[in-house]
Amino acid sequence: MSRRISPVIPGFGLTLGYTLVYLSLLVLIPLGAMFVHAAQLSWDQIWNIVSAPRVVAALKLSFSTALCAAVLNGVIGTLLAWVLVRYTFPGRRLIDAMIDLPFALPTAVAGIALTALYAPAGLVGQFATALGFKIAYTPLGITLALTFVTLPFVVRTIQPVLADIPREVEEAAACLGAKPFQIFRHVLVPALLPAWLTGFALAFARGVGEYGSVIFIAGNMPMKTEILPLLIMVKLDQYDYHGATTIGVLMLVVSFILLLLINLLQRRIERP
């Protein structure tokens, strides 16, 4: 290994060694064990597990609701970040501090609170009932729960970038005759896009794996409102370790491919 050790600062071997041992024991070896377990299955067995209609339905549901929630957050998060950075108004500091609530609040608490809120007789749900549709116990409810738990990601990644864009840039564009939408499209979007994508990817990855906040509001009906993490749980309860492991590996592989694609997209944008 070629390395440049700062000649006077001690602790390189100790800290790197400790970091590697700790990570290996707690994260890498256990995760590897899951792949080893799945590798013991034949391709036929694996295909039978992942092509089961119930698994396919859960896969579609998990990834589509996580995607919708990430997109929704992309809009709401940008709005919140914009308002918090650019304007001073009553309650700004309160909102800024409370944005992180979904990270601080245990997901189970978020889950039961949102269920109570969006259930057919709930505070918000009753309006949906009056209009003839349901929020809780449908994919819409799952999307809302995921939007709640991943709300801080986009806001917190965009905020510092937005604060660094000098207002003069927009004013210069306005002086040169750009309309507000043109300023948005040609000045702000290119500057914000990399950070936006990071927030989007974080929200999406978290949304796919999220469990606690979703299981209460989902209703958990097989084929309709059953998410992938719950399906792993169901398989485990039935002592179906092969099934649970295969779905786990599938979930990780699909997530990593999507995160890799987002990462590549980001690099292309940053270095045109």
Partner 1 sequence: MTTTTLSASAAANAARRGSAAGRIALITGAWLTFALFLLLPLYVVLSEALKLGFGTFFTALVEPDAISALKLTLLAVGISVPLNLVFGVAAAWCVSKYEFRGKSILVTLIDLPFSVSPVIAGLIYVLLFGAQGFFGEWLQERDIQIIFALPGIVLATVFVTVPFVARELIPLMQEQGTQEEEAARLLGANGWQMFWHVTLPNIKWGLIYGVVLCAARAMGEFGAVSVVSGHIRGYTNTLPLHVEILYNEYNHVAAFSVASLLLALALVILLLKQWSEARLSRLKSAGDEE
Q: Does 208 bind partner 1 (CB under 8 A)?
A: yes
Q: Does 41 bind partner 1 (CB under 8 A)?
A: no
CB-based contacts of 118: which residues, under 8 Å, 6+ apart? 124, 125, 128, 135, 136, 141, 144, 217
Site for partner 1 in 4-23 (CB under 8 A): 4-6, 8-12, 14-16, 18-20, 22-23
Number of residues near partner 1 (by CB under 8 A): 93
CB-based contacts of 236: which residues, under 8 Å, 6+ apart? 244
Choice between 12 and 133, CB closer to partner 1: 12
Q: By CB under 8 A, which span of 43-51, 127-135, 157-165, 207-215 interacts with partner 1?
A: 207-215
Choice between 138 and 255, CB closer to partner 1: 255
Choice between 84 and 138, CB closer to partner 1: 84
Site for partner 1 in 122-181 (CB under 8 A): 122-124, 147-148, 151, 171, 174-177, 180
Q: Does 255 bind partner 1 (CB under 8 A)?
A: yes
CB-based contacts of 244: which residues, under 8 Å, 6+ apart? 232, 235, 236
CB 49 within 8 A of CB 246: yes
Cα 105 from Cα 83, distance rounded (Å): 24
Cα 243 from Cα 45, distance rounded (Å): 9
Residue-level length of the chain: 272
Which one of residues 50, 252, 254, 262 is an interface residue with partner 1 (CB under 8 A)?
A: 252
